[in-house]
Structures are given as structure tokens and as C-alpha cells.
Amino acid sequence: MSSSQSSNRRRFLRYAVGSSAATVAASWLWPLSNAAKANNDLEELCLSYPFNAQCEDYLPGVAALDQSETAYLAEVTLATTEAGDRLIANGLEKTAYLVIEDGPAFANYAISAVCPHLGCIVDWNAEAAKFICPCHGSQFDSEGDVTNGPASRSLSLVTVIVKDDQVRLVDREPQLSES
């Protein structure tokens, strides 16, 4: 065997081994880099199509917690509330108010408790059926729309999911159905 054939064979083996090692390393690293993206994709899928078979055991978002940091249970909570009630809920970075509708039932949205003016937490005044900012007096109607400044924007909304007796908050605008 000539030295050029031996050199070509060694070069081929080096490329083959190197390519195999790179392929194995890439197959190990690729799922790790896409794990977070896959979870976000599943959340997006389950929010858009909640009855999809892949979403059967998936709980999107985070648990809605009352002021004592206890998770709201849908059946127990609805047994003690009435349509029109607003319940303070923690769990996301921002506090929100769960909305109780006729039935009673949870609305598919919650109203952020963070005033868009300076970020104070607004209070729900059930007698007046409005939110009032304790910092500068901004007022919002029962749906979070600004009625009296200095705030110039309405309170933002977050998505509410009720599944398996759990009330979950998802930090994104809800898909409101047209009435």
C-alpha cells in the first residue's frame, strides 16, 4: 500500500469519526435548546385549542392564589360568590381580579390590578362597582375601562383557564368572544 493511499484512508477515517461525533453532540444539545420552546408551543396550542388530545392533562399558566396564597378551587369558590364579584388573585408577577359572571362562572379573563398610571394596585369597590386607584384617584369601571384620570389607559387583561377544578392565570391577552 502506498503512502498516499494510507494518508487518504486516515483522512477519511478522521472525517468519518469527526462527523459522527458532531452528529451525536448535536442530537444531545438540540432537544435541550428547544425544550423551553416546546413548552411554549404546547401552551400556545392548548390555549388556542383546549380540547386537543395533547392538552388533556396539560394545565397552562399558573395557579390563581387568594390573599393567603391558597389556590382557588373553582367549585368551592363559585359556591360562595355571585355574578359581578371581583376576587383578588396572585400567581403572576402582576396581581389581577378574577371576574365572576352569571351562573356563577369564571370569565375567561381577569383584570389586572396594576394601575397603568404609576403602577399602584387598584382596589375593587363593590358598592360603586368600580376599581379605584389609591395613589392618584384614577377610576375604572367593572370591566377595567378608565372612567376618570389621571390614568389614560384601561387596566390590562390576562387569560383565565378553569380546568380540573383549578383556576389558572396566563399572562397574555385573552381571546374574547364577540357577543
- Note the pLDDT tens digit of each residue in 117-164: 888 889 999 888 899 999 888 999 989 899 988 888 999 999 888 888
Asked if 49 and 66 sit in the same domain, the reply is: no
- Is residue 46 classed as helix, strand or coil in its secondary structure? helix
Q: What is the pLDDT of residues 85-124, one digit of tens each?
A: 898 899 888 889 999 998 888 888 999 989 888 888 899 9
> Is position 176 within any domain?
no
Asked if 48 and 75 sit in the same domain, the reply is: no
How high is the mean pLDDT of the chain?
Answer: 80
Asked if 109 and 165 sit in the same domain, the reply is: yes
CA 99 to CA 102: how far, in whole Å?
10
Greater confidence, 87 or 50? Answer: 87
Confirm if 86 and 124 have CB atoms less than 8 A apart: yes
> Residue 146: exposed, middle, or buried by beta-carbon count in 10 A (0-12, 13-18, 19+)?
buried
What local confidence, expressed as pLDDT, does residue 32 receive? Answer: 44
Predicted TM-score (pTM) of the model is 0.67
User: Element (H or E) spanning 43, and its range?
Assistant: helix 3-48
Asked if 31 and 83 sit in the same domain, the reply is: no
- In sequence order, the 6+-apart residues with CB closer than 8 A to the CB of 93 are 171
